[in-house]
Amino acid sequence: MLTEISMPQIMMRIIAMVVLMAVHGFSLALLARAFGDRGPQYDGRLTLNPLNHLNVLGLVAGIAGRTGWIIPMDIAPKDVRDGRAGIVAIVVLSLLVLIGFGMLVLQARILAASLLDPTISNYVVMGMTTIADCAAWFAVFNLLPLPPLTGGLILAAFAPRAAAAIAKQSFWIGSAIVILMVLTRGTWMQPLVTPVRNLVFLGFGG
Distances (CA, A) of 77 to 45, 46, 56, 74, 95: 18, 18, 27, 10, 18
The mean per-residue pLDDT over the stretch 11-23 comes to 97
Per-residue confidence (pLDDT) for residue 136, from 0 to 100: 96
pLDDT tens, position by position, 65-88: 999 999 999 999 999 999 999 999
- Please, which pLDDT band fits residue 4 given cuts at 50, 70 and 90? confident
Distances (CA, A) of 140 to 26, 144, 193: 18, 8, 6
Instruction: Please say if the pLDDT value at position 138 is more than 70.
Output: yes
Q: What does the domain layout of the chain look like in residue ranges?
A: 2-200
- Please, which pLDDT band fits residue 205 given cuts at 50, 70 and 90? low
Per-residue confidence (pLDDT) for residue 147, from 0 to 100: 93
Crossing angle between the packed helical segments 190-200 and 83-115, to the nearest 10 degrees = 60
For the ranges 115-119, 161-165, 182-186, the lowest mean pLDDT is seen at 115-119
Per-residue confidence (pLDDT) for residue 146, from 0 to 100: 93
- Please, which pLDDT band fits residue 6 given cuts at 50, 70 and 90? confident
The mean per-residue pLDDT over the stretch 143-170 comes to 94
The mean per-residue pLDDT over the stretch 13-40 comes to 97
pLDDT tens, position by position, 38-71: 999 999 999 999 999 999 999 999 999 999 999 9
Per-residue confidence (pLDDT) for residue 117, from 0 to 100: 79
Instruction: Please say if the pLDDT value at position 2 is more than 60.
Output: no
Q: Is the bond into 195 cis (omega within 30 degrees of 0)?
A: no
Rg (CA), the chain: 17
Question: Average pLDDT over the chain, rounded to whole?
Answer: 92
Instruction: Please say if the pLDDT value at position 204 is more than 80.
Output: no
31 vs 111: CA distance, rounded Å: 30
